[in-house]
Amino acid sequence: MHNRKLYMARFTKRDDGFVFYKIGQCWQYDANERFLFENEQYKPFDIKIVTSAWGPADEVTEWEERLLRVKEKDFWLPGKFSGITEIRQFNKSELAYLFAQFKRLSNEWYKQRKRVSSSIG
Three-state DSSP class for 84?
helix
For 6-59, the pLDDT digits (tens) are 999 999 999 999 999 999 999 998 999 999 888 899 999 999 999 999 999 999
Task: Read off the pLDDT of each residue in 95-112 and give the average, rounded to a whole number.
Answer: 97
- Residue 5, pLDDT > 80, answer yes
Angstrom CA distances, 26 to 11, 16, 78, stand at 17, 28, 24
Residue 121 has pLDDT above 80, yes or no: no
Counting beta carbons within 10 angstroms of the beta carbon of residue 92, is it exposed (0 to 12), middle (13 to 18) or buried (19 or more)?
Answer: exposed
Instruction: State pLDDT tens for residues 71-94.
Output: 999 999 988 889 999 999 999 999
Distance between CA atoms of 9 and 52, rounded to whole angstroms? 9
**pLDDT higher than 90, residue 116:** no
Total domains present in the chain: 1
Q: What is the pTM of this model?
A: 0.92
Q: Which domain holds residue 69?
A: 3-120
